[in-house]
Amino acid sequence: MSNSGPLLLIVSSPSGAGKTTLTGRLRQQVPDLGFSVSHTTRKPRASEQSGREYHFVGRETFEKLIELDEFVEWAEVHGNLYGTTRAELERASGARGLIFDIDHQGARQIKSARPDAVAVFILPPSMDVLEKRLRGRASEDEETVQRRFRVAREEIAHYGLFDYVLVNDDLDTATTRLVSVFRAEECRRSRQARTAERLLAQSRGFGQAPR
């Protein structure tokens, strides 16, 4: 398969493992990357803005979009609905790459629809560290923290769906690894085959003696 469109990069992790921070850092270091803004029915946190982190919508609106087959992937996570619309894929047609900050269910659906997508799973260095990070979120109550921690083990069990697994034990090191994954995937033979074939076509006739 020759992949000439933007590189689709899926980044997933249990809540609190750092995928949102790492995707933000990736976009700072690699120019011309698009970010797939998912739809969700959850309430925005204080620092979040609709249309930037997520498109925040009501459940009725989300379910209507499902009926209209507007989503390339969607799932229910922690009691809220999340999904990526087909319009997000179309919007990034001219970008160098498109990042998906989604869970393992969404990753599986994206990979099913687009096998050329590259999936990265972020692990915390330990479950103790993960719990501390979850408790450090002032926006979430104890019940939410406990629920997210219980679900984390289930999410980690799906690491086998992913092409790469990175441990976020040091933010700078993890950022370097994620940037390296993206740049290496840009050089994959299947992504550069069209360029190589074009050069071969251009070279035909060069160096031959005139008749």
> Residue 61: what pLDDT?
97
Quick check: is 73 in a domain? no
Quick check: is 210 in a domain? no
Q: Are 45 and 139 in contact (CB under 8 A)?
A: yes
Tokens of 182: 């993206």
Range of the domain at 187: 7-36+96-203
| pTM score, whole prediction | 0.82
Quick check: is 174 in a domain? yes
> Residue 1: what pLDDT?
39
CB atoms under 10 Å from CB of 112, counted, come to 11
> Residue 2: what pLDDT?
44
Quick check: is 43 in a domain? no
> Residue 184: what pLDDT?
97
> Residue 139: what pLDDT?
63
Quick check: is 108 in a domain? yes
Task: Note down pLDDT in tens along the chain; length 211 residues.
Answer: 345 689 999 999 998 898 989 999 999 999 999 999 999 999 998 889 898 889 999 999 999 999 999 999 998 987 899 999 998 888 777 789 999 998 898 999 999 989 999 999 999 999 888 888 888 766 667 787 888 888 888 899 999 999 999 999 999 999 999 999 999 999 999 889 989 999 999 887 666 655 5
- The CATH number for 24's domain is 3.40.50.300
Quick check: is 15 in a domain? yes
The number of domains in the chain is 1
* Tens digits of residue pLDDT in 7-44: 999 999 998 898 989 999 999 999 999 999 999 999 99
Quick check: is 68 in a domain? no
> Residue 211: what pLDDT?
55
Give CA angle at 83 (77, 85), nearest 5°.
175
- Distance, CA of 1 to CA of 193 (rounded, Å): 9
Quick check: is 101 in a domain? yes
